[in-house]
Amino acid sequence: MTIFVKNKHTLQIDEFKFRCCIGKKGLTKNKKEGDKKTPKGTFKIENLYFRKDRKKKPSTLLKCIKIKKNMGWCNDIRFPKKYNKLVTIEKKIKHEKLKRKDNKYDFLIPIKYNFKKPKSGMGSCIFIHLTKDYKPTAGCVALQEKDFLIMLKLIKKNSTIKIF
């Protein structure tokens, strides 16, 4: 099962087409940390992370992980061993907080870009997450919640996302 991001406004799975948004500065083959671009390529996806305090566990074949207060995703180029990985929040390490005040990360799936042996500075925290208004992201792919929940029913653990 492949998720296709065909352009900055369309995500498609089989015959299902959803409106989406991507990075503010479009797509790139040469992703850099903080460039506001979405990486081009075909990538595996990770587990589903969700806010149990706000949402019930959705229907999906993905492994579901409850987001806790101390969970972050490292985007600090000074810590290559932790870069682009789930971390326990520490003050000295820059990170993307998963438990946010807004609803963007009530559901999120990390895209396995720069994932196996992450290279510092090549981009981190590339997620499929929620949007209410389709404003461009910092490099992620975002969907409205109703579409995200349909997508979760369609995809499997071995699904890939092709961004082109």
Tens-level pLDDT at each residue, the chain (164 residues): 999 999 899 999 999 999 999 999 999 999 999 999 999 999 999 999 999 999 999 999 999 999 999 999 999 999 999 999 999 999 999 999 999 999 999 999 999 999 999 999 999 999 999 999 999 999 999 999 999 999 999 999 999 999 99
The DSSP annotation for 120-143 comes to TTS----EEEE-SS---BSS-EEE
Q: What is the pLDDT of residue 117?
A: 96
Question: Using CA atoms, how far apart are residues 136 and 39, in angstroms rounded to an integer?
Answer: 14
Question: Using CA atoms, how far apart are residues 2 and 158, in angstroms rounded to an integer?
Answer: 9
Contact 93, 87 (CB under 8 A): yes
Query: Cβ–Cβ contacts within 10 Å for residue 20, how many?
Result: 26
Sorted by where each begins, the domain ranges of the chain are: 2-163
Q: What is the pLDDT of residue 7?
A: 87
Q: What is the pLDDT of residue 84?
A: 98
Q: What is the pLDDT of residue 161?
A: 98
Please name which of 72, 124, 118 lies closest in space to residue 95, comparing C-alpha atoms: 72
Return the CATH class of domain 2-163: mainly beta
